[in-house]
Amino acid sequence: MLKTFPKGGIHPPENKLTSSKPIQRLPVPKVVYVPIAQHIGIPAEIVVDRKDKVDIGQVIAKSGGFVSSNIHSPVAGTVTKLDMIVDSTGYKKQCIVIRTDAKNASNFVETEYPLKKEIELEPQEILQRISDYGIVGLGGATFPSHVKLNIKADKKIDCLIINGVECEPYLTADHRLMLEKAEEILMGIQILMYALNVPRAIIGIENNKKDAIETFKKLMLQEPKIQVAALQVKYPQGGEKQLVRALLKREVPKNGLPLDVGVIVHNVGTIFAIYQAVQHNKPLIERVVTVTGKKMGKASNFWVKIGTPIKDLITEVGGMPEGTRKIVNGGPMMGKALKNTDVPVTKGTSGILVISEDEASRGETKPCIRCGECVSVCPMGLEPHLLMNLSEKGMFEHAGQEDILTCIECGSCSYVCPSHRPLLDYIRFGKSIVKKLDVSKN
């Protein structure tokens, strides 16, 4: 019996068009646009100036506080501007513009690091390295990893969960990384287990990635403290609370974290980044990005330098298909449409989805028919129809009392609504107001 979470969930078409496409390396861009807010928390503070020469991996913006993260230069080159650019949120944010030095060979020679199994750093040094090298959650949330790993004395962690679910349709970046870098990911898991003194780890992978499950099962034959768990294909299986419930049958508190039930959850991409930082002194300056869409002729997965304009990725897969309606940062369920293709890749960019006119068109919004479908699929046990109505009518205090902040914004409610009501849009809006008002239910 495959493991899963008990409440709600849906199974949209998977559309994993690039699951068999090996990760390619995107050409180094001529210019990178590196935002200083690529993580949850306080933006980093710029420590370079216009005309400064920078090297690959050099710190160009330092953590602005505890919940913040360092930013490193992905290329060797010259800082040309400290500018305001539109990022994936649609708002202008501060950014460091670097022109790549075409004569610097280090920009164009990619080092292939050998697998390194000896852990030379002490636990505290490992955690400091993770902080110094700008590692954040690569599953989408971009929470600074050193914060998540800062465990207070009154908390006891007995399990590390590795999220290899990748339940969002279309995206295959994590799947390919698991197939191509399994030994490095395993080593990253062992590094974290050692640093945190955690006795066991579980890698959760959805059952539509049987090749990844088998790959890790073979590696784990000599690793009794680490197990692989196949999960039912159900969205949003990759949500932290859903994953903890599925694998351990522990219920994370409503306004709590996995830490509250003795668990830390990390995405496989984050684990690989931790391995590279600890074993090879490599900061987080690139990541795997899926570039896909039903009408994309050369959809694939790429290693992409942070700060690369999205238009470079689109060009690499053959350009924009005729009839394109939307370009989405992320997947179709939780991703957000981009304003233009000048937006840069950040640490949180897991995929670029190109959607055609016929796919993107929403049905005409009609009155709610009280069918209850949105309630039945909500993995958090909420009433999405009610939360939308309260947000639409400006009844934000009431929305807070109805637990609107508990919504994980998975979009399952909007997906199943027969009246095509923009449930998630209004709930997101309502959440943003409730956060400011601080009227949530305790």
105: alpha, beta or left, given left = phi > 0 and alpha = psi -120 to 50? alpha
Q: What angle do CA 339, 145, 179 make, to 5 degrees?
A: 80
The dihedral built from the CA positions of residue 62, 63, 64 and 69, taken in this order, carries a sign that is: positive
Instruction: Establish whether the linkage from the previous residue to 236 is cis, with ω within 30° of 0.
Output: yes
Is 371 assigned to a binding site? yes
Q: Quick check: 374 and 423 in contact, CB under 8 A?
A: yes
- Give the CA distances from residue 412 to residues 120, 189, 258, 303, 434, in Å, rounded to whole numbers and listed in that order: 45, 31, 22, 30, 21
CA 295 to chain centroid, in Å, comes to: 24
Separation CA 329–CA 338 (nearest Å): 6
Is 368 assigned to a binding site? yes
Separation CA 205–CA 160 (nearest Å): 14
Is 159 assigned to a binding site? no
Separation CA 21–CA 23 (nearest Å): 6
Tokens of 28: 């180094």
Is 167 assigned to a binding site? no
Sequence-separated (6 or more) residues with CB below 8 Å from residue 134: 69, 70, 71, 72, 283, 284, 347
- Helices (runs of H) and strands (runs of E) counted in the chain: 14, 17
Is 95 assigned to a binding site? no
Q: Quick check: 278 and 272 in contact, CB under 8 A?
A: no
DSSP secondary structure letters along 81-110: EEEEEE-TTSSEEEEEEEEE-TT-GGGT--
Q: Quick check: 382 and 403 in contact, CB under 8 A?
A: yes
CA-based radius of gyration for the chain: 21
Separation CA 294–CA 308 (nearest Å): 23
Separation CA 78–CA 55 (nearest Å): 9
Tokens of 432: 């943003």
Is 417 assigned to a binding site? yes
CA 40 to chain centroid, in Å, comes to: 12
Is 407 assigned to a binding site? yes
Neighbours of 428 (CB within 10 A): 16
Is 378 assigned to a binding site? yes
Give the residue numbers of the binding site for [4Fe-4S] cluster.
368, 371, 374, 378, 407, 410, 413, 417
Annotated binding residues, as ranges?
368, 371, 374, 378, 407, 410, 413, 417
